[in-house]
Amino acid sequence: MELNTFQQQAFDYQRPHIEKFGKRAWFWTIFYLLWIVLGGYALYRQMTKGHGITGMRDNVVWGLYIVNFIFFIGISYAGAIIAGLLHLFKVPWGKPIIRLAQMMTIISVVVGPIFILLCIGRLDRLHYLFIYARLQSPLTWDVVAVLTYFAGSVLFLYMALIKDFSVYRDAKLNIPKWKQKLYTALSLGYRGAASQKRHLIISQNLLAIIIIPLSIIVSSILSWVFGMTLRPGWHSTIFGPYFVLGALYSGCGVLIVAMWVYRKMYKLDDYFTDRHFTYLGYIMMVLAAGYGYFTFSEYFTSWFGSEKWDSEVINKLFNPAQYGWWTLFANVAGIILPIAIVAIPQTRKTGPITLVAFIMVIALWVKRYLIIVPTLESPLIPMQDTRHEYIKYSARWPEWALTFAGIATFMLFFTLISKFVTVVPVSGLEDTKNNREHAMGLLKKEKIQPA
């Protein structure tokens, strides 16, 4: 495939990253693998000893695993929606970051469901979900939805990659034979012929149109796993949109952090520019306001209506002796801080935006914890149990080990994928002359130099 100067520059610049697996990459890979091994050991213990080794008990039947599931799968939906919108509206500045959003989508939709599997007491019966599937259950909806979504997002990423694969194939890279073969196979014989181009664009557009509503549906279904029950704090009509917005918001934060990390590691300052951070910061701010609005509506109606069960959950959330400090953190760091940092021009800089996005992502993780655990700790019938662990949930080592293993898997996938494809899409930077010029305008041209 023919590349224009701009694309050629982008490719040459990133070429070393897909050609060799450097010392640093090895270091991080091994580091992540160690965590994954630890998680594997925890899983082995859990499967042989039973779920009794976790902190979950009869009242709090779901703990960190579900929190992580919501967290990762949320990031994934955000990636898909952001990538889909950037693609459909042909946002010129979006071109360099679209792949990062798509990578985020795929990686977290792989990592997320692992956590729901960890909640299942009988992994040996997992196939029952298919052979005895009951359509009434929101969990069945979730299985169908996540699998559909997974297929959709893999295709969406792949369609966007075909052109790049053909570039890698033709570039005579200094890579092992298997990798060359893989690129050749994956490029599906793309030569940039007019009919190929047209088909690819149509497929991509269709997938973008499908993936956006799909993400919204899947995210809502996830929320209905909770919303369909009769539990205070969960049984809420706004749970669907609340989860969609929460997903988008946290995913936006992760995208900002990922951009920053790649910019530092691969010196991609020319592609992930300060302007990208500012624009995504604006999006983050708007989403923060929306999320804050939903959170406020949720708490305010519960508190004002003051039904017995609702009040119990609200009291737990706002009592400093219980979850009060966490609620404060989740709402200040998760809603107020991002708005303030982006709103004030003096702090609207790459560094502060990234930092605040990072803190916000953690706050949103805490927020998910606050959605799950306090409700489960507030059954409608008093617990009256002598076993402390049955009354108050506290995660134990296998759950933490597997949580960190999950994060490590997330990072490992990012590391490995960025050694296989360029983080900034090469062929994606083309399209019309105007777009190219616009995109070029974002760059500090003199900085580009082949590494």
Partner 1 sequence: MKQEEINDKGRRDFIKTAAIATVAATACGSLACSCSSKHEPPKTGEKVKLLSQDGEIVEIDSSHLDHGNHMTMAVKASKKQAREGIPGRKFVMVIDLARCKNARKCVSACQKMHHLPEDKEWLTIKLMQDSDKGSPYWFPKTCFHCDNPPCVKVCPVDATFKRQDGLVLIDNERCIGCKFCMAACPYSTRVFNWNEPHQDVSIANYTPETSTPSKIGTVEKCDFCPDMIRQGLLPDCVTACPNGVFYFGDENEDAVTNGDETVSLSQLLKDRGGYRFMEELGTQPRLYYLPPKDRLFPVERGYESLPEKTKEKYKEAMEKKK
Instruction: Read off the DSSP letter of residue 53.
Output: G
Handedness of CA 251, 395, 241, 296 (dihedral sign): negative
- Contact code string over 165-184 relative to partner 1, x by CB under 8 A: --------------------
Q: State yes or no: residue 385 binds partner 1 (CB under 8 A).
A: yes
- Near partner 1 by CB under 8 A, which window of 225-233, 254-262, 316-324, 363-371? 225-233
Instruction: Report the residue from 4, 229, 297, 301 that binds partner 1 according to the rule CB under 8 A.
Output: 229
Task: Give CA–CA dist 2/426, Å, rounded.
Answer: 11
At 226, the amino acid letter reads F
The minimum distance between CB 400 and partner 1, in angstroms, equals 18
- Contact code string over 61-80 relative to partner 1, x by CB under 8 A: xx------------------
Instruction: Report the residue from 177, 346, 381, 446 that binds partner 1 according to the rule CB under 8 A.
Output: 381
Q: State yes or no: residue 15 binds partner 1 (CB under 8 A).
A: no
Q: State yes or no: residue 388 binds partner 1 (CB under 8 A).
A: no
Q: State yes or no: residue 121 binds partner 1 (CB under 8 A).
A: yes
Q: State yes or no: residue 348 binds partner 1 (CB under 8 A).
A: no
- Near partner 1 by CB under 8 A, which window of 228-236, 244-252, 277-285, 363-371? 228-236
Task: Give CA–CA dist 231/254, Å, rounded.
Answer: 30
Instruction: Report the residue from 16, 379, 407, 417 that binds partner 1 according to the rule CB under 8 A.
Output: 379
At 410, the amino acid letter reads F
Question: Which tokens go with 411?
Answer: 């990072």
Q: State yes or no: residue 120 binds partner 1 (CB under 8 A).
A: yes
Instruction: Report the residue from 15, 17, 51, 95 that binds partner 1 according to the rule CB under 8 A.
Output: 51
The minimum distance between CB 379 and partner 1, in angstroms, equals 4
Q: Which of 379, 327, 19 has its CA nearest to residue 172?
A: 19
Q: State yes or no: residue 305 binds partner 1 (CB under 8 A).
A: no
- Measured in degrees and rounded to the nearest 5, phi and psi for residue 384 equal 40, 65
Q: State yes or no: residue 2 binds partner 1 (CB under 8 A).
A: no
- Near partner 1 by CB under 8 A, which window of 191-199, 223-231, 250-258, 295-303? 223-231
Q: State yes or no: residue 144 binds partner 1 (CB under 8 A).
A: no
Q: Dmax of the chain from CA atoms?
A: 73
Helix ranges (DSSP H) in 228-265 = 239-265
The minimum distance between CB 38 and partner 1, in angstroms, equals 22
Instruction: Report the residue from 25, 85, 91, 139 that binds partner 1 according to the rule CB under 8 A.
Output: 139
Exposure class string for 140-171: b at 16+ Cβ within 10 A, else e: bbbbbbbeebbebbebbbbbbbbbbbbbbbbb
Contact 290, 245 (CB under 8 A): yes
CA atoms lying within 13 Å on the CB side of residue 298: 26
Residues 148-167 that bind partner 1 (CB under 8 A): none
The minimum distance between CB 368 and partner 1, in angstroms, equals 15
Q: State yes or no: residue 370 binds partner 1 (CB under 8 A).
A: no
Q: What are the angstrom distances between the C-alpha of 98 and each of 89, 94, 224?
A: 12, 6, 29
CB count within 10 Å of CB 49 equals: 11
Instruction: Report the residue from 30, 34, 37, 126 that binds partner 1 according to the rule CB under 8 A.
Output: 126
Task: Give CA–CA dist 41/57, Å, rounded.
Answer: 21
Q: State yes or no: residue 225 binds partner 1 (CB under 8 A).
A: yes
Cβ-based nearer residue to partner 1, 27 or 44: 44
Instruction: Report the residue from 26, 27, 89, 128 that binds partner 1 according to the rule CB under 8 A.
Output: 128
Task: Give CA–CA dist 343/347, Å, rounded.
Answer: 8
Task: Give CA–CA dist 371/231, Å, rounded.
Answer: 11
Contact 107, 406 (CB under 8 A): no
Contact 86, 276 (CB under 8 A): no
Q: State yes or no: residue 95 binds partner 1 (CB under 8 A).
A: no
Residues 232-251 that bind partner 1 (CB under 8 A): none
Task: Give CA–CA dist 97/232, Å, rounded.
Answer: 40
Q: State yes or no: residue 44 binds partner 1 (CB under 8 A).
A: no
- In the complex, which residues of this chain contact partner 1 (CB under 8 A)? 49-52, 56-59, 61-62, 119-122, 125-126, 128-129, 132-134, 136-140, 143, 225-226, 228-231, 376, 379-387
